[in-house]
Chains A and B, each alone.
Chain A
């Protein structure tokens, strides 16, 4: 499925994953990483210490061997002075064996010294890197905390869940409904005004009744006017009234006037 349904679903899932990512705090990961680096540095330092200890032990052994070598040399010299050449030879041959050991130990000592220097340098470099990492870590943590606060504010405004999307739509629908009701109320008013709908309150009049009222009102005025004219002329008001009845009485008025003139 690759249509709208799937794509909308994927977007929502991606949003949910983002929310889950937030649960895994990167600050903790940074601290853990820093801890690991410190452990590594500790190991290197321990290595440096071990090599230095071995070097010291070698130095002690070398000293002892050299002391024994000197002692055998003295013994050989004394034996010769006493005329014991056989003893002197024995002493010198033992000394030669010791000398060989001294040479071997000196080679080992040189090797260990070189190793120790290398390890010390590595430890110093690692220490510098760990220090730099610690600074960077603290900066990242501070930035993250700030970003997190910003995100929380953003989320509070926009909402993140699918349900929030529904709430947005529900609000929209409520607004639409209100607008629709308002429009309907307006339309009903118009229909009542035009007489197409009956008004149960009796406040509104249809146009037919309004016209009848207008006509009857107008007739009363005309009748009163003719009655007054007849009184002034001294004639029977009844006559004038009869003459003024019927349709188009306003047009008949000019015909009445010449009749009065003849009298």
Chain B
């Protein structure tokens, strides 16, 4: 499975790690929805660290579609909330 960290690049992950990542990902979503900024920052860093630790970076010239996409490490809770709003990434 290929995961993109926005602004960093793509990482190839073995599916066996999904359970661990899922837990952090769901936690991140809950914190984003509840507006817990500190928790969001902490969990996002933990999730990104886990993806970097467990995955293998794809070379820059590789052209593979990402199955999962993560916000950049410096993305704020508001920015991510905006990205996930109905309009999506680019207002239609």
Binding site for B on A (CB under 8 A): 1-9, 11-12, 14-16, 158-160, 162, 165-166, 169-170, 173, 176
Q: Is B54 an interface residue (CB 8 A)?
A: no
Known contacts A1-B22, A9-B66, A12-B69; is-contact A165 B28 (Cβ 8 Å):
no
How far, in angstroms, from A159 to B89 measured CA to CA in the complex?
10
> Can you list 11 pairs linking A and B with CB atoms under 8 Å apart?
A1-B18, A2-B26, A3-B22, A3-B26, A4-B70, A7-B84, A8-B68, A16-B65, A162-B66, A165-B89, A166-B7
B56–chain A nearest beta-carbon distance, Å: 17
A interface, over-half SS: helix
B14–chain A nearest beta-carbon distance, Å: 15
Binding site for A on B (CB under 8 A): 3-4, 6-7, 18, 21-22, 25-29, 32, 65-72, 74-75, 80, 83-84, 88-91
Q: Is the CB of B18 within 8 A of A8?
A: no
Q: Is the CB of A15 within 8 A of B68?
A: no
B residues less than 8 Å from A169 (CB atoms): 6-7, 72, 75
Cβ contact of A14, chosen from B21, B68, B88, cutoff 8 A: B88
Cβ contact of B29, chosen from A4, A160, A162, A165, cutoff 8 A: A4
How far, in angstroms, from A158 to B3 measured CA to CA in the complex?
24
A41–chain B nearest beta-carbon distance, Å: 39
Since A12-B66, A165-B89, A173-B7 are in contact, a sample of 8 more A-B pairs with Cβ atoms closer than 8 Å, ordered by chain A residue number, is: A4-B32, A4-B70, A5-B21, A5-B68, A15-B89, A162-B4, A162-B69, A170-B7
How far, in angstroms, from A3 to B26 measured CA to CA in the complex?
5
Q: Which 5 A-B pairs have the closest CB atoms?
A: A3-B25, A5-B68, A8-B69, A169-B7, A3-B29
